[in-house]
Amino acid sequence: MQYRADSVDKAMQLQLYQRMLKPRLIEEKMLILLRQGKISKWFSGIGQEAISVGVTSALRKNEYVLPMHRNLGVFTTRNIPLHRLFAQWQGKGSGFTKGRDRSFHFGSQEYRIIGMISHLGPQLGVADGIALADVLNNRNRVTAVFTGEGGTSEGDFHEAMNIAAVWDLPVLFCIENNGYGLSTPTSEQYKCTDLAQKGVGYGMESHIVDGNNILEVFSKVDELCKSIRKNPRPVLIEFKTFRVRGHEEASGTKYVPTELLDTWSEKDPLVNFEKFLVDQNILTPDLITTFRNEIYSEIDFNLKKASEEQDIVFDEKRELYDVYKAFDYTDHHAGEEKENIRMVDAISQGLRQSMEKHGHLVLMGQDIAEYGGVFKITDGFVDRFGKERVRNTPICESAVVSTAMGLSINGMKSVMEMQFADFASTGFNPIVNYLAKIHYRWGEHADVVIRMPCGAGVGAGPFHSQTNEAWFTKTPGLKVVYPAFPIDAKGLLATAINDPNPVLFFEHKGLYRSVYQDVPTDYFTTPFGKAALLRHGTEVTIVSYGLGVHWALDTLGKNPHIKADLLDLRTLQPLDIKAVYDSVKKTGKLIILQEDSLFGSIASDISAMVMENCFQYLDAPVKRVGSLETPIPFAKNLEDHYLPKNRFEEELIKLLSY
């Protein structure tokens, strides 16, 4: 292995050696503990330390780095206390996730490290968001994110690369090409000669670096970081290296040819660099012994400290409380001035006023800039707020959701327009696995609102008509809002943007231009978790939300003799189940109307909760009314029969006569 001795000064060379030695010795200790059953799993980075250490050493301490599970050197180079790392791996309370996650599945704002999740792709988009926040705040910083060669096949990789290239984001995409994705060799993973070629397709500067040569890694990354800080842009680096141990220790390496393992063992980055430093009289055998003993002592001391810590004690209240970041709702009252506007106008007005209130709020979505969005919600916003804050995105929902997460990590708010709620399926992973779980896992919040134009009744067919709120109400950590009226849409949207937790904000397309209401012209907020009682009665309780509320109002208008409580839920998570219970206790009968199909839905959950908690008050079985258990058809006659509007009246009358 050839080292350029003139590329890095001697003091730094010695420091790089120490920084590689530390994760190597920690790993050797962890492998012993794994065999003893004191930790449950280990992903070895032995033989790849030069990449983690070299990249992190080239970054400034205030620059974010997003490592993977073989990047122990990132954490040790950032000087995270070892007892906290050991406690993390043992599931102890002083770790970073309170025992809720393992390995390197955590982050730390203090050390500017954002760990990965098992669905590896989203972190690439998160890096985009972190870098975007730096650009918008004129901070000359670099964000480094790691992935393996296997991860480059994921759609998230390509989406994140494309966004970074289009927006000239200062992201250093680091590919650790270590030969195998678990047991699958690179020959079965991609066809190009080098992964660096993938950057070319996105108009991105790309480099290939010997990932086992610490001086080459550090000097090249240092050179690139200095350049990127002056001229923000994304850069792709493919680090050629090899995984000499199993994907994780239980996997072993039987699938790797022995001669290949032998070849790469001779390229050990630590052993070779140590020999080089000795030959250069920078390192001596005595100094090697001293360094090793110091690290051994540090490991033993911190391991003892972590091991002596008591196992974490289950506390149900704490577990439930930590799912969301605490939100102190502030009730903003509007003046008396009102105007009669449509729901689409109320949403646009509320969004504009929130943009004025929050200077660090960014809007993202397809066609939302000059075009104003397909529903014209953001028409004129570019003229008012500029293209930096009102951003057209490529068609890559997953990476845009992840970018929103990155903006939040780096201190900003964002609202993403999912052009149609149906398209959330292509952004599903980061919504339910990253945004929803991040606060529970390590205390970071996702200050993200995703606007979800939804619903049938407009002849848009199976892919532009879904009302898919139940996909998300099932997921702890998400809040779900679904207004039925302009005044609620405006006030609840303001609250959603103020709330530091991820909010799915459903907007029924059929209500955009069909419902008018007198709405305060000033900025105001409406609290989550409080249903609206629209009609008072003693015979039956009707519960609905979204377009279903208007179907219920139409039915009651046709049948004025029916004395019903009509509850508009407004928010589905948090859910005002108390209002439902109170009404059922009064009327003795409950019918739940929704546009969604019934199986696994909000109506099913409410029905179950009422049966469990109000059974003694019921004079009839709880009735649910929803759409057919089919995809949404296009033809009007088919769609009319698919939707439950007409069936609702029949079922309501049956229930009243029970």
Cβ-contact 433, 117 below 8 angstroms? yes
Please report which helix (H) or strand (E) contains residue 361, including its range.
strand 361-365
What does the alpha-carbon distance between residue 334 and residue 347 come to, in Å, rounded to a whole number?
16
Three-state secondary structure readout of 324-350: CCCCCCCCCCCCCCEEEEEHHHHHHHH
What is the distance between the terminal CA atoms of the chain, rounded to a whole angstrom? 86
Please report which helix (H) or strand (E) contains residue 228, including its range.
helix 214-230
Axis-axis angle for helices 49-58, 10-35 (nearest 10): 130
Kind of pairing, strands 516-520 and 338-342? antiparallel
Radius of gyration from C-alpha coordinates of the chain? 28
CB under 8 A, 24+ apart: contacts of 303-310: 303/29, 303/82, 303/83, 303/86, 305/83, 305/86, 306/83, 306/84, 306/86, 306/87, 306/90, 306/92, 306/94, 307/38, 307/86, 307/90, 309/87, 309/92, 309/93, 309/94, 310/92, 310/93
550 is catalytic: no
Q: Coil, strand or helix: which one is 183?
A: coil
Identity of residue 34: L
Nearest to 582 by CA among 530, 547, 621, 545: 530
What does the alpha-carbon distance between residue 196 and residue 190 come to, in Å, rounded to a whole number?
12
Angle, CA of 423, 427 and 432, to the nearest 5°:
120
Catalytic residue, chosen from 69, 105, 445, 464, is: 464
What does the alpha-carbon distance between residue 443 and residue 439 come to, in Å, rounded to a whole number?
4
Q: Where in the sequence numbering do the catalytic residues fall? A: 464
